[in-house]
Structure 1
Amino acid sequence: MKIICVGDNVVDCYLDQQTYYPGGNAINVAVNCRRFGATEAAYMGIFGDDSEADHIKWVLTQEGVSYHGSRVISAASGHPQVSLTADGDRVFIGGPQDTAQHIVRIRLTGQDIAYIRGFDVCHSSCYSGIEPELASLSEATNVSFDFSTRHEPDYIDQVAPHLRYAFFSGSHLEMAELEEIVETCHSYNVEVVGITRGSEGAFFSKSGKHFMQPVKSAFNVVDTMGAGDSFIAAFLTHYVDGVPITEALDIAATKAAWTCGFFGGIGYPRPFEG
């Protein structure tokens, strides 16, 4: 399987550790697909021109992920701030709004589309400002999209017509709401719709046939950051290569649990000041 992830790159700033970790849905999925067996994984997005962006690029190189075609602008990298709750969960509490992630949206050229056409899947998300480009992407290859917690009907209607694979986070939703999301996506010919539900596992549907995947126990849970991205990456890597959906889901749950055993979405910490 060959995948390109188009979209966000940030550094997640852990305030309790005074440490940042490279992240962003597109970065996490690209790196994990490569780790989990993709024959080729690439990233395309907009980098800032600071030391944090240099660190992200270095990490991609270490992991064998190309960032050919990415842009660089004179701005800081995205710096979402992450806090530790009393229950031990990590939550985003905001960050600066004048970063590369906020001020520029990627616009794909004909050359970009020709390059993307060489991949089996292009993955992006609601964090990437990619919506105006989805029609062109869907003509070039199969598109995977992470809606996260965005399940407003108008947004699904805007995005779903261009997708082969759709992923949501729905731990707060009732089963009737999950089924409505699935039915809406399938009405736009989305082949696979997956909704992760935290401790309740994952609810998936392939062309209307439903599957439930329980969570897997992690040996040493230190951080849940990036577990959902890891699940998506493992699922895509195996399912697109022809692994039956039940087996691909089982592998995905195992990899998500593994990701909880280290800090950050993909590791690679760096200290920060302030």
Structure 2
Amino acid sequence: MKIITIGDNVVDCYLDQGKYYPGGNCVNVAVNCKRSGAEEVGYIGVFATDDKADHLKNVLGEEKVDFHRSRTVEGISGQPKVNLSEDGDRIFVGGPTNTVRHQVKIRLIQDDIDYLKNFHVAHSSCYSFLEEELPVLSEHIKVSFDFSDRREPEYLGRVCPHISYGFFSGADLNEEELERLVSELEKYDLEVIGITRGARPALFIHKGVRYHQEALETEVVDTMGAGDSFIAGFLTAFVETKNIVHALEVAAHNASVTCGFYGGFGYPKALV
């Protein structure tokens, strides 16, 4: 299985620790796909020119994620500030708004298209500002998209016609709101709908059949990146085997492991 992720990279700055960790939805998914056994993983993003971008690149190299099609823009990396609650939930408390991520968007060119044709699926997210590129992207490759908590009908209508796999965070939804979201998504021809629900069982829908996956019991240190590792485990296993039950088991295991350490996938450095 070969996957490419296109979009955000940041460093998550843990204020209580005085450390930062590499992250961003697309970087987290890329690294966790490789760790889950993907044969080849690529990443296209926009890197800054600071020491934090250097750390991100070094880490991706260590994890065998190919980022050679990425862009470099003069400026600073995204640096969301994070506090942790007593039960390990991450709480974002702002960050600079003059980063390269705020300044530029990725515009796919023919060389990018030629490169990504070597992969089975491309993953992006609502944090990547790639919505304008989805119509072109989806002509050449299946697209996976993490909506996080973006569930407005207008946004769904803009994104869903161009994707195959849609992932949502639904921890805040009651049963009536969950069914309303499912009903809205049924308007589109998605191969897989995945809705994670925090400690409650995740709901996945494939070919009209519903599947539920319980969260595995684990000692939670930090929930940062758990949803991304869930997506990565699911995509890696499902694209390879088409066995959704197995893919959900792999996804739950991945998320459980990620909850056991700080950061999206490790590699802390001191904030200076």
Distance 2:134 2:75 in 1: 25
Distance 2:41 2:88 in 1: 32
Superposition deviation, residue 257 in structure 1:
0.4
Superposition deviation, residue 250 in structure 1:
1.2
Distance 1:88 1:221 in 2: 6
Distance 1:167 1:83 in 2: 25
Q: What's 1:235 paired with?
A: 234
For residues 1-274 of structure 1, the aligned pairs below 5 Å read: 1-218=1-218, 220-273=219-272
Equivalent residues of 1:106, 1:130 under 8 A apart: yes
Matched residue of 1:187: which SS?
coil
Superposition deviation, residue 222 in structure 1:
1.1
User: Quick one: which amino acid aligns to residue 19 of structure 2?
Assistant: T
Distance 1:48 1:81 in 2: 18
Superposition deviation, residue 181 in structure 1:
2.4
Identity rate of aligned residues, in percent?
55
Deviations 1:249-274 (A, max 9, x none): 0111111001111110010000012x
Equivalent residues of 1:114, 1:140 under 8 A apart: no
CA RMSD of aligned residues (A): 1.1
Equivalent residues of 2:22, 2:264 under 8 A apart: yes
Deviations 1:156-199 (A, max 9, x none): 11000001000000011122322332333332211100000000
Superposition deviation, residue 247 in structure 1:
1.4
- What are the ranges of 5 or more consecutive residues in structure 2 without an aligned counterpart? none
Distance 2:176 2:78 in 1: 36
Equivalent residues of 1:7, 1:127 under 8 A apart: yes
Superposition deviation, residue 243 in structure 1:
4.3
Distance 1:183 1:227 in 2: 26
User: Quick one: which amino acid aligns to residue 84 of structure 2?
Assistant: L
Distance 2:85 2:237 in 1: 34
User: Quick one: which amino acid aligns to residue 127 of structure 2?
Assistant: Y
Superposition deviation, residue 87 in structure 1:
4.5
TM-score of the superposition, structure 2-length normalised?
A: 0.97
Equivalent residues of 1:182, 1:205 under 8 A apart: no
Distance 1:34 1:227 in 2: 15
Equivalent residues of 1:186, 1:207 under 8 A apart: no
Superposition deviation, residue 55 in structure 1:
0.3
Distance 2:236 2:91 in 1: 28
Please say which of residues 159-168 and 243-252 is displaced more in the overlay.
243-252
Q: Which runs of 4+ in 1 moved over 6 A?
A: none
Deviations 1:75-112 (A, max 9, x none): 10000000123444221111000001111111110111
Distance 2:192 2:182 in 1: 9
User: Quick one: which amino acid aligns to residue 239 of structure 2?
Assistant: V
Distance 2:144 2:41 in 1: 14
Deviations 1:187-241 (A, max 9, x none): 22111000000000201111221111110012x4211100000000000000000
Distance 2:102 2:58 in 1: 23
Equivalent residues of 2:88, 2:223 under 8 A apart: no
TM-score of the superposition, structure 1-length normalised?
A: 0.97
Matched residue of 2:160: which SS?
helix
Distance 1:56 1:89 in 2: 23
Distance 1:78 1:146 in 2: 19
- What are the ranges of 5 or more consecutive residues in structure 1 without an aligned counterpart? none
